[in-house]
Structure 1
C-alpha cells in the first residue's frame, strides 16, 4: 500500500516543488479545492478529496475534510491491532503525511474595508481539525504546517524514516500554530463583543528575532510582536542601518515612540533607561532636536532619539556629532541617510507615525500570574484644567503646562518635569519621595528653572515640593490634585503669587 499524503494549503509557496518531491518518494497525494487545482495544473497527480470520502464538498467548501474516512486515517494508531482492524473493516486508507496551512484570517482582517462576512468565512474549521488530529497522532503521522520545513521534510523522508523527536517537534509547532490562529480569532470577537476582561485572557505574539541577551548578559531574551497590531508601533518599524537591536534598545525605543505620540508639532524625544532625558519642540525638526539636545546634553550621550518629521541633512549633521544608539523617524532624506550611515554603530529605524486609536492593553507578568490594564491614554486639554489659585496662568504658561504634563506622564514615578519654551529643562524620575524628584529636576534645570513651569505626575502630600519649586523660580504648576492637604500647597502658591492648576488625572508609571 502506497504511503498517502494529504495536502491542503492556503499559502502555496513551494507547494508544487514539495508535492513533486513526495511523488518521487512514491507518495500518493490527496488534495482539496484550490490546492488540488494548483497541483493538477502543474501535472502533479492528485486525488480529489471527494473521491476518498465518497461525499461532495458542500456548503461552499465549509465541509469537505470533516469525514471519518479522513480523520480515521489520521487518528488510527498503527501499533494498536484493534485500530488497524477497524481501518480494514471500514476500508479506511491510513494517511501518513499531512501538509496543511490555514485560511488567511490575519491577512483578511488587514484588508481595507473588509466585510464581517468575509472575515467569518476566513475562519478555518477543517484545516485546524486535520492539523490537530495529525499532531495528536504524531508517532504515526508526520504533520507539516510551515512551508519553511518542506526542504527538511523531503530530506528526512529520503532517509526512509523520520525520527520521533522530529515528528514531535513538528507536532508542537502545529499546536502553537493553531493556538496562535484561535487567539487571533478570539481577539477579533472580543472587539466585536466589547468585553474588556473575559473569564480567560489569551494573547498571541509572533517571533521577530532572538536577542543576544536580555537586560543583562546572563539573561536570555527574544522579541515578539502582536500579529495584528498596525499603526504607530515599534514592532512594525523597518531598520535601515546598523546592527540588531538589543533588549534594552527595544525597551528604550518603545518608550521614545510612546512619548513622541503625545505631540503634534515637530518634536524630538531623547530617552535613556526608558525615561526621557530631553523633549523639544520647534518650528522645524532640526530646531526640535536642538531643543531636546540642549535639555540635557550629558544624558543624551548613548541615548535614543525619536523624531516625528523626516530627518533632513541639517538635522542629520547634528545627530552625527554625538554618539547615539538609535534614531527613529518616519523617514530620512537621501542626504541624511548618506550622513548617518557613515557611522557604523548607529541604528536607523523608520516607522509609521500614524497613531492607532484601537483600545490597547498592557500586560505585566508577576511570579505565577499577570496584570492587565488599559494603556494610559488619558489626555488633558486646556478646558479640563481647574485653576485653584488666585492667580491664573497666562496663555504662554498654559501652553508650557500642557507640554510638561504630556512629558511627566512618561517619566517613572515619582516624577517631576520642569519645562520652558517647549523644552524640558529638568526631569526628576523614579524617586521614593516627590520632593526628592523635584530637587533632581531643579538641580538639572539650574538657572533655566527661573520662569519655568512644573508638572507633577501625582498630588503633593505636603507643600515642600511647591516650596522648592517657588524657591527655584517656577511660575506655574500643574498637578492632579486630590490630596487631603491640597489647600496647604494652594496657600503657598497664593502667598508667592504663582498659578497652580489641577488636572483631576494621575499618571503614575511604575
Structure 2
C-alpha cells in the first residue's frame, strides 16, 4: 500500500517530444510542450517538470500549447496561437503547485471553462469531478456562487476542481477552505485570499488570466481529436452552443398524422432563464444526460447513461440523495451515510434519519419548480412522465423525435400543464 501511495505523489517523467507538428493540407499547426520550473521537495533544487502523470500513475502524459499556425477549413477559422487558457499556464500562474498537476486536474479545469464561458454575465462557479460537473451556480457575488454550486452536490464535489469567473475574495476563500478540493482556478485572487487558501497545502491554485474574456470563446471552434485503439484518429469540429437567449429557443410544436401538437403552456421568465442556464451546463455533461436546474443552480445532474428514462431516474435518485445528505450535514454536521452507520451501531437514535427522510420526501428533494434539461430528444414520453411526477414545471430539449407529439401530450396532460421548448440542437458529448 505504501508503494501505491508513493505512486500517486510521484511525478512521472515523459518521453514525448518538445514540439509536435500536425499538417492539415497546406497549413501546419505547431504545438509546444508545457513544463514548469519548480523546487524539488526533497533536494530544494529547481527542476523542470511537465504533467505529474496521465489518467493513472503508470501513464506518461504531456501538455501542449498551440503556438503556430492558423487553421481555416471550409470557411471555419479555428482558435489560433496566443489564445491559450489551461495550456498557457505559466509558473507565475501556478500560485501553488500542491501535489503537482496531472492530466485529470487540468482536463477538469478545462471542462469547467467549457461551461463557464457561457455564464459570464453573472458571478458563477463550476465544480467538476472526472470531467463532469457536480454543481454549477450563479450568485450575487462569487462567494454565493461557490456556496450554491457546492451545496448542489456536496458529496461529489469532494476532491473536485473549482473554476470561478470572478476574482476570489477573502469570504470566498474562507468558504472554499472549509472543504477539500484538488484544484482551484480563477482570473485573480484579491489581497488576503491566497494566504487563506494556501493553508490547504495540497490544493493546486491556478490563475487563468483570460477567464474574464471567456465569453469571446463562445463562437470559437477548436480541432477535437479522438484517438482510437489502433492508433487511428477521428477529428471533428468542437461544438458551439447556439442558445444565447430565450429568442433562440423554439416552441414545442410538431405534426403527427396530419394533426398539430403544441404545448399549451409557455414558460415564464424564470423558467426561460433556467433553460438558458441549464443548456449551458448541458454542453459540458457526458451524454446521455438529463439534468434539473432551478433559479440559476443545478439541482441534480444525471450523466453518461445509455437510455434516457434511466438517466432521468438516476438524476432524480441523486436529487433525493443529495437533498437528504445536505439536511443531515446542516443539522448534524456529518454525511447521511455516516448517520446511517451510527444509527446501526446504536450511537444515534433512528428518529434523526426518519425526520430527514420524511422532510426529503415531503420536499420531493427540491425538484418541484425545476426545469428539466435533456441533451437529446425523448424517444418515448416515459422520461417526461417520470420527471413531471416529481413536480418539474418546464422542459428544454432539442426536439426532432418521431414521438415529440407524445412528450407534448405528456406536458399538456400534466396538472398543472408543463411548459416545453426546443433548442433545435443536440448536445451529445463523448
Q: Scaled by the length of structure 1, what TM-score is found?
A: 0.60
Deviates more, 1:385-394 or 1:272-281: 385-394
Long gaps (5+) in structure 2: 1-16, 36-49, 69-80, 253-262, 321-364
Asked if 1:455 corresponds to 2:373, the answer is yes
Distance (whole Å) between structure 1 residues aligned to residue 237 and residue 404 of structure 2: 28
Instruction: Give the Å deviation of 1:334.
Output: 2.0
> Could you say which residue in structure 2 is the equivalent of 1:508?
428
In the other structure, the counterpart of 1:363 is 225
The answer on 1:332 being equivalent to 2:167 is: no
Deviation at 1:230, TM superposition (A): 3.1
Whole-Å separation in 2 of the counterparts to 1:377 and 1:460: 22
Cα deviation code 1:337-379 (max 9, x no counterpart)? 1101122100110111113544422122222321221211122
Could you tell me which of 135, 143, 154 is aligned with 1:278? 135
| Partner Cα distance (1:300, 1:232) in 2 | 26
**2:86 aligned to which of 226, 234, 246:** 234
Give, in whole Å, the separation in 2 of the partners of 1:301 and 1:294. 11
CA distance in 1, matches of 2:156, 2:139: 21
Output the aligned Cα RMSD: 1.9
- Asked whether 1:222 is paired with 2:62, we answer yes
Distance across 2 between alignment mates of 1:503 and 1:343: 42
Question: 1:220 deviation in Å?
Answer: 1.6
Residue 393 of structure 2 is matched in structure 1 by 475
- Which residue of structure 2 aligns with residue 254 of structure 1? 110
Q: What SS does the aligned partner of 2:29 have?
A: coil
Indicate whether 1:386 and 2:250 are aligned.
Answer: yes
Query: Of 441, 446, 450, which aligns to 2:315?
Result: 441
Partner of residue 314, structure 1: 171
Per the TM alignment, residue 242 of structure 1 is displaced from its structure 2 partner at its CA by: 2.5
Query: Are the structure 2 counterparts of residues 285 and 232 from structure 1 closer, same or farther at C-alpha, using a change threshold of 3 Å?
Result: farther
> Which residue is equivalent to 2:406?
488
Could you tell me which runs of 5 or more consecutive residues in structure 1 were left unpaired when the two chains were aligned: 1-172, 187-197
Q: CA deviation at 1:386?
A: 1.7
Query: 1:245 and 1:212, CA in 2 relative to 1: closer, same or farther beyond 3 A?
Result: closer
Q: Please give the alpha-carbon distance, in whole angstroms, between the structure 1 residues aligned to 2:221 and 2:301.
A: 29
Checking the alignment, whether the CA contact within 8 Å between 2:221 and 2:239 is kept in structure 1 is no
Counterpart CA distance in 2 for 1:250 and 1:287 is 24
CA contact (8 A) 2:125 2:163 kept: yes
Going by fraction, where is helix more abundant, 1 or 2? 1
Structure 2 partner of 1:417:
291
Task: Supply the distance in 2 between the matched residues of 1:230 and 1:342 (Cα, whole angstroms).
Answer: 33
Tell me the SS of whatever aligns to 1:440.
helix
Residues in 2 aligned to 1:202 and 1:411: alpha-carbon distance in whole angstroms: 32
The secondary structure found in structure 2 opposite 1:427 is strand
Mapping of residues 98-137 of structure 1, within 5 Å: none
Structure 1 residue 201 displacement after superposition: 7.1
Please state how far the C-alpha of 1:200 moved relative to its aligned partner.
7.3
Rounded to whole Å, the distance in 2 between the matches of 1:508 and 1:277 is 18
Distance 1:390 1:359 in 2: 37
The residue aligned with 2:72 is: none
Q: Mean Cα displacement is larger for which, 279-288 or 232-241?
A: 232-241
1:212 lines up with 2:52 in the alignment: yes
> Residue 204 of structure 1: CA displacement?
2.7
Partner of 1:270: helix, strand, or coil? strand
1:343 is aligned to 200
1:292 aligns with 2:132: no
Q: What is the distance in 2 between the residues matched to 1:373 and 1:262?
A: 21
Contact 1:234 1:257 in 2 (8 A): no
- For residues 191 and 56 of structure 2, the distance between their equivalents in structure 1, rounded to whole angstroms, comes to 36
2:182 match: secondary structure = strand
Distance 1:230 1:413 in 2: 31
Could you say which structure has the larger radius of gyration?
1
Alignment size in residue pairs:
321
Higher relative contact order (CA 8 A, sep 6+): 2
**Contact (CA 8 Å) 2:164, 2:187: kept in 1 or not?**
yes
Counterpart secondary structure, 2:318: helix
Q: Deviations over 1:223-263 (max 9, x none)?
A: 22212533461112321013321111111111111111110
1:312 and 1:225 map into 2 onto residues whose CA distance is: 30
CA apart distance, 1:327:
0.6
Equivalent residue, structure 1, for 2:260:
none
Kept in 2, the 8 Å contact 1:426–1:440? The answer is: no
Say which SS state the counterpart of residue 206 (structure 1) adopts.
Answer: strand
Partner of 2:279: 405
- Equivalent position SS for 2:67: coil
Distance 1:408 1:448 in 2: 20
8 Å Cα contact 2:149/2:297 also seen in 1: yes
Please state whether the residue corresponding to 1:211 is helix, strand or coil: coil
